[in-house]
Amino acid sequence: MTPRLAVLASGSGSNFQAILDARRDGRLEAVVAVLVASKPGIGAIVRAEAAGIPVEIPDQADSLAAVLKRVAPDRIILAGWLRRIPSELVEAYAGRILNIHPALLPKYGGAGMYGRHVHEAVILAGETISGCTVHEVTEAYDEGPILGQATVPVHPDDTPETLAARVLAEEHSLYPSIIQRHLHGR
Ligand code: GRF
């Protein structure tokens, strides 16, 4: 059976789109069973609707756990998900929750290291190389086993925005390829 993915997103969903594109092109053998959005009105929902993917927005009455129980995905794919995953879920899906982080972990991860803050810190530290990391999600948020990384140069005149754009382009090819490998071993 083709493995099923639940993709969780809180923002524009460009990584979600990259997953949909990889699936369409045959680079990713998986069914995107659901987009779980953290709130209404985000870009990822527009992309899901355009692709005919069901959207779920968990709330108090219908928790993330309940949504996932219904969908029963083989992997949970965090694609810019800014909420905490409850410990029970991390435990229940151990080794089957993947995240992408816009830096070369173990550096520039952990509390407060998301979005623009990551790239600001990288530039401030004078790094000449940055990149992105796909890892398994464990209780210690950005510290799970690393599954793959891609690097980009940091230019002397980079702003957090220019660096973010360069990293994001790499994320879009890295994430689908690592998901494919995690699912199928190739
Ligand atoms: C990406 O930079 C990803 O590394 C981080 O959140 C961002 C999501 O961007 N976890 P998008 O919503 O996929 O465009």
User: Is the distance from the beta carbon of residue 109 to the nearest atom of ligand 1 less than 6 Å?
Assistant: no
80 lines ligand 1 (CB under 6 A): yes
Give pTM, 2 decimals. Answer: 0.97
Q: How far is ligand 1, taken at its centre, from the CA of residue 79, in Å?
A: 6
Residue type, 161: E
pLDDT band at 158 (very low <50, low <70, confident <90, very high): very high
Q: What is the mean pLDDT of the chain?
A: 96
Give every CB contact of residue 105 below 8 A, 6+ residues apart in sequence. 133, 135, 142, 143, 146, 149
pLDDT in tens, 95-149: 999 999 999 999 999 989 999 999 999 999 999 999 999 999 999 878 999 999 9
Please indicate whether residue 17, judged by its CB atom, sits closer than 6 Å to ligand 1: no
The pLDDT assigned to 47 comes to: 98
What is the set of active-site residues? 101
Q: Where are the beta strands (DSSP E) in 40-145?
A: 55-56, 75-78, 97-101, 129-136
